[in-house]
Amino acid sequence: MDEHELEERFQELLDKYKGEPGALIPLLQGAQAIFGYLPQEVMARVAEAAGEPLSQALGVATFYSQFRLKPHARHTIRCCHGTACHVSGATLISQEIEKHLGIKAGENTPDMFFTVEEVHCVGACGMAPVVMIDDRAYGKLTPDKAVAAVKAFREQKEVQEAGGNSGAALVAASERGDR
Amino acid sequence: MSAAGEAAATPQSVTLTLNGMEVKAKPGQTILEVARSVGVDIPTLCHDPRLEPYGACRMCLVEVEGARGPMAACGTQVREGMVVHTHTEKIVKLRRFVLELLLTNHPLDCPVCEAAGDCRLQDYAYEYLVDMVPWGWRPPVVGEPGDHPNIAHYGARCILCGRCVRICREVMSIGCWGYLNRGYESEVDTPYRLPLTEVGCVSCGQCVSTCPVGAITTQRSLLGARAWQTSKVVSTCGYCADGCRLVLHSYRDKVVKVSADVEKGLNEGNLCVKGRFGLGYVHAEDRLTRPLLRNSQGELVPTTWEDALTTLGERVKTLTSTAGGSAVAALCGTHVTNEAGYLVQKLLRTVLGSSNVTAEDEGEWSAYEALWAHGLGVVSDGVRRGDVRTAQALLLVGADITESDPVLALEVIRAIRTGRPVIVIDPMKTTVASKAPLHLAVRAGQEAAALRAMLRHVVEAGLKDEGFLAAETADPEAFLASLADLDVAGEAAQAGVDLEAVKRAATMFAQAASALVILGPGVLQGSRAKEVAGAALDLALVTGNAGRPGTGVYFLRSGANSRGLFDMGVRPGRLPQGSLKDEGVLEAAETGWGACLRDLPEGFGLADLIPAIERGTLKALYVVGADPVLAMPDYERTLAALKRLELLVVQDAFLTDTAELAHVVLPAAVTAEDEGTFTNAEGLVQRLRAAVPAPGEAKQDWAIVCRLAQVLGADWVYSQPEDVLREISEVAPAYRGLSYRELETEGQEVAAERSGSKLRFFPLGRMSAAGAADFPETDDDHPLLLVTGPVFIHHGTGERSRRAPGLSKLLAEPSLEINRADASAWGLVQGDRVRVTARDGAALEVAVTLSGRLPAGMVFLGRFSSQVPVARLLKGDVAAAAVRLEKV
């Protein structure tokens, strides 16, 4: 979607809720659905449309974990810190992944390949400790295994993305069992 | 009242038991309010009476018998028969727990914390003996306070009570502060941690005033004075006419801080940037500390009081012996006290024999004086803050109230926030206009046309208050008949506003249970003043909005004692006893003062001051706390005239632009060094108290006037300002019975006529429309209309506010505000410098600011500067000029 089209959809959203009391959260959700995250200029316009000060809009956006103020990288690593994962060493796994990528939870790699997040329970306690990369789950991890999984994922995707338009690469990838 | 059923339906009071005491309370009061009213101290951290109850801190938990658990006293209303315990063992334990949790991550940098000695957390930790935190102490690092000149933010000390967040939203309607994140990570900061100046902050410091700890404080106080080291005196603000009550904190002869007591005074603890951070001028380096005399080389040189006064006395005597007393005039600034103003006019009238005495804001009073007899006095004199607070609809005409009267403006903001109709008639999209439900953006100078359209619509649509008109006004038929051929659409078109919007405004105003008009000084100048004030009066009368609570016309005034000086007779046509037109007044004054006044030549007012000098009839001018060079229109003409004077005496705290031309300069004390009284715009007389001594040989205005009178042969024996007020209370009917003792704890209202059964009102009916007659016409050569007006960071022509670092660091010099469309048409961007040229070729250079509040074709320049005096571009009575711009 080009910039113009995004702006058009955003304006439509603002117009829809303008003057409606209590519209802050639907506005934030709508804006994030359009832009993928909530940039500062978007926040300012959402606040204005909601008739709230920017400080209030930002308070709500930083309170709920569903809202993102920073753009997301192409792929998300979610380190589970639910109770089961926590007691089986999630902290060490998070640390090792963060060290490997050189970023902290909530940040993106400079090449916008990975975002690392800490989440609370992904519902796979039997496999604790668990890390999810996009929608793929990796269980029974050790710090080393976790880093290996991250590396393997990247290699695989890089091959895919490099040949983004090449049918042969896609076919090759699918033959290896990628989705 | 005896019927039990009736009492139950509308209970007058409820009875509860508080710590075993039986206590009577008003229904709707909270446990906290009742407890505090009887001296039971329930601790609070998140509570501020200026804010809605919040219940976040849990310090005010109390036990209520029968309740499921402890209740927050701040948010629980009392009920009949309630039994409350405020300090049981269980409650004390809970409070200690709350404090332990708060202290877990609170830095204990109390020795260097600005709030030490004035910190609730410190107080309660000591009171509740919290000497350890069971979970280990994990204090965050205290960072830097930010670079706002007045407001320091130390997020690490925040206890998340939300008072700053709420006061900025609920009271100021801005919202600079907000919460970020959640749970343990929660903090309070500006959005994106931007500097305050970039998030709409007006630097009022309300957040400072409410923060219970050291998270938001003033920047380090002068001399590093501690709360327990300073002396505190209650005084009154000397800037605008709101009359805010201040507490001045002084230490080693310096005013180091200003605060305000919550729930006291008209401002109830609220202040604006000038009140809270604008007193730095008291200690400005260029304060005058010795009298100055111009020597034979034409230089002003320091001298002694004796020398200055003797020389002055001789020159005045020489001058008046040949030219007569009426060759002398006096001009007061609007922050001269009642006592000093009274003495100035008495000096002129009884010692020198001149009626030429006036104040800088005389022009703004012309309509009030002219329409007094029509009942405007009754409609406006008794209107108080409480009426603005309770009015069910407000109409602001030419009143940029957040700029001119920032604390009174909070009442208007509250009205908007509570959903009451607020209508703004102003060419500019003022701050209030941008928040109000209805803004009639009239063409410059066409406010009266909009009012006439509203007036006529009220009659046409059958919204008039016939009962009121019949009972209270003289000849309502003739009045209504005079409006018969007014054309609503025609007037709306002349005003340049939408017809439907005008009709809606008229309906909102007329249908409200009570409605009040606020008139700003900007529309009270020139020939349209009478037209605007008259239409406002008629609108109030035709809708029955006069003489009862929440109604009337509120006149904004431009200075702290504008009203007082008028009352003191600092006008050619008035005496403290009343209008000179009244024979009884003259007699009373002659008896009171033992002087003959009836042979005094008729005095001339402000508008005739410069022409009288030019004619040679006025030879000496005594200027007290005023700066006519900057305040009067037509700068060059004023300068030339003042230079022609044989004797110019300026009494001021600073060497103002006017003082630089003077022959004698007398160093005066400022309000923080003076005793006396101010009468605010609504007639509340309040005390000034000296917090610090005047520097060097500077003296209080009243004392200088006394000395001068004695030198000129008067036998005045006032030994203190209190003696002067005693005399005022004897001679001025509205001030009868006032004394310093009466004013000790709170202000007293001047007497105002508000009731009575006889006909009181004489509506003007249709007037010949002067409209924008004296507004300069723009044309191709000079296509922009330059206007000026108040700027909230400064006051008047800025002699004091420019010298206050807390203000000048926020805004040192004015810039030319211009509409974005005009800017791009002229090829200008923010910060460009332009030459602004008026039709007569007068010009000045100034930077440009793009503004969203100005209509196309209008530019705005504040008048607080001595470097770029807007007076250079203005002519005549109206503060406007046609100009062109050139980029430089």
pLDDT, position B771: 56
Residue B4 has pLDDT above 60, yes or no: no
Looking at the fold, whether A18 and A90 belong to one and the same domain comes out as no
Contact assessment for residue B639 and residue B632, using Cβ atoms and an 8 Å cutoff: no
- CA of B834, closest CA in chain A: separation in Å? 31
Per-residue pLDDT reduced to its tens digit, B332-365: 999 999 999 999 999 999 999 999 999 999 999 9
- Out of B9-13, B41-45, B332-336, B395-399, which region has the weakest mean confidence (pLDDT)? B9-13
Mean pLDDT across A81-99: 94
On whether residue A152 sits in a domain, the answer given is yes
Give the best residue of B182, B184, B202, B416 to mutate against chain A (max A CB count within 10 A). B182
ipTM associated with this complex: 0.88
On whether residue A70 sits in a domain, the answer given is no
Looking at the fold, whether A51 and A131 belong to one and the same domain comes out as no
By CA distance, what is B184's nearest residue in A? A63
By CA distance, what is B196's nearest residue in A? A55
Higher pLDDT, B869 or B749: B869
Mean pLDDT across B717-734: 94
> How many domains, chain A?
2
- The answer to whether the Cβ–Cβ distance between A53 and B180 falls below 8 Å is no
A 9-28 residues with CB below 8 A of B?
Answer: none
Host domain of residue A144: 75-176
Torsion, Cα B585 B586 B591 B595, to 10 degrees, reads: 150
Looking at the fold, whether A93 and A115 belong to one and the same domain comes out as yes
Give the best residue of A24, A28, A40, A55 to mutate against chain B (max B CB count within 10 A). A55
Name the phi and psi angles at B673, rounded to 5: -115, 5
Q: From start to end of B658-713, where are the E strands?
A: 664-667, 676-679, 684-688
| Residue that is last in its domain, among A40, A63, A86 | A63
Looking at the fold, whether A167 and A129 belong to one and the same domain comes out as yes
CB-based burial of residue A177 (10 Å sphere; 0-12 exposed, 13-18 middle, 19+ buried)? exposed
Res. A167 pLDDT band, cuts 50 70 90 = very low
Q: In this complex, is the C-beta atom of A174 within 8 Å of any C-beta atom belonging to chain B?
A: no
Mean pLDDT across B517-538: 89
In angstroms, rounded to a whole number, what is the distance separating the alpha carbons of residues B619 and B329? 8
Q: In this complex, is the C-beta atom of A53 within 8 Å of any C-beta atom belonging to chain B?
A: yes
Residue A95's identity, in one-letter code, is Q
On whether residue A172 sits in a domain, the answer given is yes
Looking at the fold, whether A97 and A153 belong to one and the same domain comes out as yes
- CA of B185, closest CA in chain A: separation in Å? 10
SS3 state of residue A82: coil
By CA distance, what is A52's nearest residue in B? B175
Mean pLDDT across B406-410: 98
By CA distance, what is B417's nearest residue in A? A51
Q: Please list every residue in chain B whose beta carbon sits closer than 8 Å to the beta carbon of residue A43.
A: 191
pLDDT, position B829: 96
- CA of B739, closest CA in chain A: separation in Å? 47
* Interface residues from chain B to A (CB-CB < 8 Å): 165, 169, 174-182, 190-192, 199
Looking at the fold, whether A43 and A99 belong to one and the same domain comes out as no
On whether residue A130 sits in a domain, the answer given is yes
Residue A170 has pLDDT above 90, yes or no: no
On whether residue A163 sits in a domain, the answer given is yes
| Residue that is last in its domain, among A35, A63, A91 | A63
pLDDT, position B314: 96
- B148-183 in b/e form (b: 16+ CB < 10 A) is bbbbbbbbbbbbbbbbbbbbbbbbbbbbbbbbbeee
Mean pLDDT across B832-840: 96
Looking at the fold, whether A94 and A46 belong to one and the same domain comes out as no
Res. B381 pLDDT band, cuts 50 70 90 = confident
Residue A177 has pLDDT above 70, yes or no: no
- The answer to whether the Cβ–Cβ distance between B191 and A52 falls below 8 Å is no
Mean pLDDT across B79-105: 96
Contact assessment for residue B148 and residue B197, using Cβ atoms and an 8 Å cutoff: yes
| Cβ neighbours, 10 Å, residue A141 | 26
Mean pLDDT across B761-786: 80
Residue A166 has pLDDT above 70, yes or no: no
- The answer to whether the Cβ–Cβ distance between B180 and A58 falls below 8 Å is yes
Q: What is the CA radius of gyration of chain A?
A: 19
Name the phi and psi angles at B235, rounded to 5: -145, -170
In angstroms, rounded to a whole number, what is the distance separating the alpha carbons of residues B570 and B526? 20
Per-residue pLDDT reduced to its tens digit, B111-169: 999 999 999 999 999 999 998 788 888 889 999 999 999 999 999 999 999 999 999 99
Q: Between B181, B182, B191, which is nearest A55 by CB?
A: B191
Q: Between B178, B192, B199, which is nearest A59 by CB?
A: B178
- The answer to whether the Cβ–Cβ distance between B176 and A43 falls below 8 Å is no
- The answer to whether the Cβ–Cβ distance between B178 and A63 falls below 8 Å is no
On whether residue A100 sits in a domain, the answer given is yes
Mean pLDDT across B857-862: 96
**Interacting residues of B413 by C-beta distance below 8 A, sequence separation 6+:** B171, B172, B173, B402, B432, B435
Per-residue pLDDT reduced to its tens digit, B544-556: 999 899 999 999 9
CATH of the domain at A55: 1.10.10
| Residue that is last in its domain, among A63, A98, A115 | A63
Mean pLDDT across B544-570: 95
Mean pLDDT across B681-709: 97
pLDDT, position A106: 87
Q: In this complex, is the C-beta atom of A58 within 8 Å of any C-beta atom belonging to chain B?
A: yes
By CA distance, what is A43's nearest residue in B? B191
Looking at the fold, whether A58 and A82 belong to one and the same domain comes out as no
Per-residue pLDDT reduced to its tens digit, B591-623: 889 888 988 999 999 999 999 999 999 999 999
Mean pLDDT across A88-100: 95
Res. B681 pLDDT band, cuts 50 70 90 = very high
**Interacting residues of B704 by C-beta distance below 8 A, sequence separation 6+:** B651, B666, B668
pLDDT, position B267: 97
Res. B521 pLDDT band, cuts 50 70 90 = confident
pLDDT, position B730: 92
- CA of B432, closest CA in chain A: separation in Å? 15
Mean pLDDT across B357-376: 89
- Out of B29-38, B97-106, B763-772, which region has the weakest mean confidence (pLDDT)? B763-772
CATH of the domain at A162: 3.40.30.10
Looking at the fold, whether A56 and A85 belong to one and the same domain comes out as no
Residue A171 has pLDDT above 50, yes or no: no
Transcribe B705-768 into DSSP letters.
HHHHHHHTT------SHHHHHHHHHHH-GGGTT--TTTTSSS-EEPP-----SS--B----S--
On whether residue A68 sits in a domain, the answer given is no
Res. B10 pLDDT band, cuts 50 70 90 = low
Mean pLDDT across B422-440: 97
- The answer to whether the Cβ–Cβ distance between B192 and A58 falls below 8 Å is yes
Closest CA to B188 of B217, B153, B233: B153
- CA of B188, closest CA in chain A: separation in Å? 9
On whether residue A69 sits in a domain, the answer given is no
> Which alpha helices (H) appear in B461-523, and where do they start and end?
466-472, 476-482, 488-495, 499-511
> Which alpha helices (H) appear in B51-189, and where do they start and end?
89-104, 120-127, 163-166
Q: Please list every residue in chain B whose beta carbon sits closer than 8 Å to the beta carbon of residue A58.
A: 178, 180, 191-192
Looking at the fold, whether A85 and A113 belong to one and the same domain comes out as yes
Give the rounded percent of residues in chain A with a pLDDT score beyond 90: 70
DSSP B792: T
Please, what is the average pLDDT of chain B? 93
Res. B184 pLDDT band, cuts 50 70 90 = confident
Give the rounded percent of residues in chain B with a pLDDT score beyond 90: 84
Looking at the fold, whether A144 and A123 belong to one and the same domain comes out as yes
- The answer to whether the Cβ–Cβ distance between A54 and B191 falls below 8 Å is yes
pLDDT, position B78: 96
- The answer to whether the Cβ–Cβ distance between B180 and A52 falls below 8 Å is no
- The answer to whether the Cβ–Cβ distance between B178 and A43 falls below 8 Å is no
Res. B93 pLDDT band, cuts 50 70 90 = very high
Structure tokens at A70: 């920073």
Higher pLDDT, B770 or B155: B155
Structure tokens at B158: 């925040």
Looking at the fold, whether A98 and A32 belong to one and the same domain comes out as no
Q: Between B178, B181, B182, which is nearest A55 by CB?
A: B178
pLDDT, position B308: 97
Q: In this complex, is the C-beta atom of A40 within 8 Å of any C-beta atom belonging to chain B?
A: yes
SS3 state of residue B15: strand
Mean pLDDT across B703-729: 96
Residue B754 has pLDDT above 80, yes or no: no
